C-alpha cells in the first residue's frame, strides 16, 4: 500500500510541477495541463481572495493584495531565498540518506566531494546572475547603445522612455519592477531578483545548463547507488533461487520495484524529483538556447507575435475590401462566368490569400556571431566605447 501511495504522490507532484511551469506551452494547448496551469496561476488565487473577503472582510483582502504587490511588482528576495532553501534541503536529504552508501559497487568515494563542488559552482553562477548588471541604459551610454542596436522600424522604433526620460535604444525595455531601462532586455527573473539582459544572459544560460547537469548527475548517481545495493545484497539471486521467480525482466521488475519502495523510498523520490527538474531545465535551456542562436529575446518573441497578429488583421481587412469591391462591380456590370462546383468547393478563401508575413530579424547575424555576442556583449567591446553618436 505504501509503495502505491508514493507512486501516486510522485505522479501528482510531476503533474503539478509540469502544469505550473509549462502549462502555457503550445503543446499543452486545450489539454488538462493547460487548464490546471490556469487554475494554479489565476483561478486558485482568485478563489482565495474571494474566500478571504467573505470570511475576514475587505481589510484582509487589501492586506493580501499588498503582499502580492510586494512579491510581484517590487524587487524582493523571496524566490532567491526559496531557491537557497531548495538547494540546501535537497542536498541535506541526499547527504543524510545516501552518502552512507558511498563508496558502493558502482559509485566511488570522490562523488562525496564532487557533489559539493557541483553545488558551489551552481551557487556562484546564481550570485553572478543575481547581482551582475544586466545592461542598464543611462544618459551617459544611451547614444552608444543606439549605435550598437539600430532600429528595425518594425517592432522597434525610436521613442523616449516616459520614465527614464531618455531615448530608448532598440531591443531595450523599461522594467517596471527594477525601474530601469535594460539593453537587449529578455525578461525579469524573479528567481534571480534581477533582469536578464545584454550583460548577464551568459551567466543565466550557464546557470540553467549547470543546474540541469546537477539534477541529471544527482539522479544518475542515486540510480547507481540503488543498482549497487541490488547487486551487493544479491536481491536478484534471492528472488530467483529462494522465491522461485523467473529470471526475466517482466517477472522480476515488480518485485524489485516493491523492494526499492519499501527499503529506499527516499532515494526513489529524490531520483524522480531530480529527474523531473532536469527535464524542465532541459526544456527551458533549450528554448533560451534557440533564442540565443537566432539572436532573439523573450521580449522580442512577444513583440513579433503582436506584430504578426496586427499584420494579419491588416491583410484580412485589405482582402475583405478588395473582395467587396469586386462583388459590387460584378453586381453593376456583367455577371461573372460561372465556375465548376468542384473548383468552387476547393477554392481558397479570399481571406486566406494575401501577403505572407515574414519575421525579419535584422539582429540575426548567424549562429556563431550570435553566440559570440552572448559571450562577449557589445557594450563590453572596445568598439563600443570608441563609438560616437551621430
Residue 173: its H or E element: strand 173-175
Of 180, 211, 210, 212, give the one whose Cα is nearest residue 195. 180
Label residue 390 by pLDDT band (50, 70, 90). Answer: very low
- The C-alpha atoms of residue 337 and residue 276 are separated, in whole angstroms, by 63
Residue scoring higher pLDDT (98 or 25): 98
- Specify whether 185 is located in the same domain as 298: no
Over residues 221-261, the pLDDT tens digits come to: 999 999 999 999 998 889 898 888 888 888 888 888 888 88
Average pLDDT of span 256-272: 88
- The C-alpha atoms of residue 169 and residue 197 are separated, in whole angstroms, by 13
The predicted pLDDT at position 389 comes to: 47
Average pLDDT of span 150-160: 93
The predicted pLDDT at position 203 comes to: 97
Q: How is residue 376 annotated by DSSP?
A: S
Question: CB–CB of 88/123 below 8 Å?
Answer: no
The predicted pLDDT at position 37 comes to: 86
Cβ neighbour number for residue 353 with a 10 Å cutoff? 13
- In-domain check, residue 331: no
Question: Is the pTM value of this prediction over 0.95?
Answer: no
Average pLDDT of span 88-98: 94
Of 203, 202, 173, 199, give the one whose Cα is nearest residue 188. 173
- Specify whether 45 is located in the same domain as 161: no
Over residues 288-342, the pLDDT tens digits come to: 999 999 999 999 999 998 888 888 888 778 777 776 676 666 666 655 556 555 5
Number of domains in the chain: 3
Give 59's Cβ-side CA count (13 Å radius). Answer: 1
- Specify whether 280 is located in the same domain as 298: yes
Over residues 352-383, the pLDDT tens digits come to: 555 677 788 999 999 999 999 999 999 998 88
Coil/strand/helix, residue 168: strand
- Specify whether 88 is located in the same domain as 56: no
Average pLDDT of span 93-121: 93
The residue whose grid cell reads 551582475 is: 132
Enter the C-alpha cell of residue 67.
Answer: 503582499
- Specify whether 258 is located in the same domain as 305: yes
Over residues 51-60, the pLDDT tens digits come to: 999 998 889 9
- The C-alpha atoms of residue 30 and residue 348 are separated, in whole angstroms, by 27
- Specify whether 154 is located in the same domain as 186: yes
- The C-alpha atoms of residue 221 and residue 98 are separated, in whole angstroms, by 10
Coil/strand/helix, residue 108: coil
- The C-alpha atoms of residue 210 and residue 95 are separated, in whole angstroms, by 20
The predicted pLDDT at position 258 comes to: 85
**Cβ contacts of 80 within 8 Å, gap of 6 or more:** 130, 191, 192, 193
Is residue 142 pLDDT above 90, yes or no?
yes
- In-domain check, residue 354: no
Domain of 168, in residue numbers: 141-190
Is the Cα dihedral 151, 153, 154, 157 positive or negative?
Answer: positive
- Specify whether 157 is located in the same domain as 202: no
- Specify whether 173 is located in the same domain as 284: no
Of 171, 198, 188, 161, give the one whose Cα is nearest residue 73. 188
Is residue 105 pLDDT above 80, yes or no?
yes
Enter the C-alpha cell of residue 26.
Answer: 503550445
Tell how strand 167-168 and strand 173-175 pair up.
unpaired
- In-domain check, residue 353: no
Residue 196: its H or E element: strand 194-196
Of 149, 122, 66, give the one whose Cα is nearest residue 362. 149
Q: How large is the C-alpha radius of gyration of the chain?
A: 29
Average pLDDT of span 265-269: 90
Average pLDDT of span 145-169: 94
Is residue 191 pLDDT above 80, yes or no?
yes
- Specify whether 275 is located in the same domain as 385: yes
Question: CB–CB of 281/208 below 8 Å?
Answer: yes
- In-domain check, residue 3: no
Average pLDDT of span 12-29: 77
Residues recognised as catalytic? 189
Distances, alpha carbon 245 to alpha carbons 48, 134, 231, 237, 249, in Å: 53, 61, 17, 10, 11
The predicted pLDDT at position 3 comes to: 56
- Specify whether 120 is located in the same domain as 202: yes
- Specify whether 206 is located in the same domain as 268: yes
Average pLDDT of span 126-154: 94
The predicted pLDDT at position 126 comes to: 97
**Cβ contacts of 61 within 8 Å, gap of 6 or more:** 49, 52, 53
Coil/strand/helix, residue 84: helix
- The C-alpha atoms of residue 236 and residue 248 are separated, in whole angstroms, by 10
Over residues 193-227, the pLDDT tens digits come to: 999 999 999 999 999 999 999 999 999 999 999 99
Label residue 159 by pLDDT band (50, 70, 90). Answer: very high
Average pLDDT of span 56-83: 87
Average pLDDT, the chain: 87
- In-domain check, residue 332: no
Question: CB–CB of 140/204 below 8 Å?
Answer: no
- In-domain check, residue 286: yes
Is residue 44 pLDDT above 90, yes or no?
no
The predicted pLDDT at position 187 comes to: 94
Opening angle at CA 329, ends 326 and 331, nearest 5:
110
Enter the C-alpha cell of residue 88.
Answer: 540546501
- Specify whether 218 is located in the same domain as 296: yes
Amino acid at each position: 500500500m505504501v509503495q502505491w501511495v508514493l507512486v501516486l504522490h510522485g505522479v501528482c507532484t510531476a503533474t503539478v510541477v509540469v502544469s505550473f511551469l509549462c502549462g502555457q506551452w503550445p503543446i499543452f494547448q486545450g489539454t488538462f495541463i493547460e487548464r490546471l496551469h490556469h487554475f494554479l496561476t489565476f483561478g486558485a488565487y482568485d478563489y482565495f481572495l474571494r474566500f478571504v473577503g467573505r470570511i475576514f472582510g475587505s481589510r484582509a483582502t487589501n492586506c493580501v493584495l499588498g503582499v502580492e504587490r510586494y512579491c510581484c511588482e517590487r524587487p524582493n528576495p523571496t524566490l532567491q531565498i526559496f531557491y537557497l532553501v531548495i538547494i540546501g534541503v535537497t542536498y541535506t536529504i541526499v547527504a543524510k540518506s545516501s552518502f552512507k552508501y558511498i563508496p558502493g559497487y558502482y559509485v566511488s568515494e570522490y562523488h562525496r566531494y564532487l557533489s559539493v563542488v557541483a553545488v558551489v559552482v551552481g551557487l556562484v553562477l546564481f550570485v553572478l546572475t543575481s547581482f551582475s548588471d544586466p545592461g542598464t541604459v543611462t544618459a551617459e551610454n544611451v547614444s552608444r547603445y543606439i549605435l550598437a542596436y539600430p532600429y528595425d522600424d518594425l517592432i522597434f522604433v525610436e521613442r523616449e522612455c516616459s520614465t527614464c526620460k531618455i531615448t530608448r535604444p532598440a531591443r531595450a525595455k523599461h522594467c517596471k519592477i527594477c525601474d530601469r531601462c535594460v539593453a537587449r532586455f529578455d525578461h525579469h527573473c524573479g528567481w534571480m531578483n534581477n533582469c536578464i539582459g545584454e550583460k548577464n544572459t551568459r551567466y543565466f544560460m550557464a546557470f540553467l545548463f549547470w543546474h540541469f547537469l546537477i539534477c541529471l548527475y544527482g539522479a544518475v548517481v542515486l540510480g547507481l547507488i540503488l543498482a549497487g545495493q541490488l547487486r551487493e545484497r544479491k536481491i536478484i539471486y534471492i528472488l530467483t533461487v529462494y522465491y522461485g521467480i523467473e529470471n526475466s525482466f517482466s517477472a522480476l521488475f515488480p518485485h524489485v520495484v516493491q523492494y526499492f519502495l519499501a527499503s529506499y523510498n527516499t532515494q526513489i523520490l529524490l531520483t524522480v524529483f531530480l529527474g523531473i527538474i532536469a527535464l524542465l531545465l532541459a526544456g527551458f535551456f533549450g528554448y533560451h538556447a534557440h533564442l540565443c542562436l537566432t539572436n532573439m529575446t523573450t521580449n522580442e518573441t512577444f513583440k513579433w507575435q503582436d506584430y504578426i497578429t496586427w499584420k494579419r488583421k491588416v491583410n484580412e481587412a485589405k482582402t475583405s475590401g478588395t473582395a467587396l469591391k469586386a462583388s459590387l462591380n460584378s453586381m453593376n456590370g456583367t455577371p461573372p462566368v460561372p465556375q465548376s462546383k468542384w473548383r468552387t468547393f476547393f477554392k481558397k478563401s479570399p481571406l486566406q490569400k494575401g501577403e505572407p508575413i515574414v519575421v525579419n530579424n535584422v539582429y540575426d547575424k548567424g549562429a556563431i556571431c550570435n553566440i559570440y555576442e552572448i559571450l562577449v556583449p557589445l557594450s563590453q567591446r572596445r568598439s563600443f566605447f570608441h563609438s560616437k553618436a551621430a
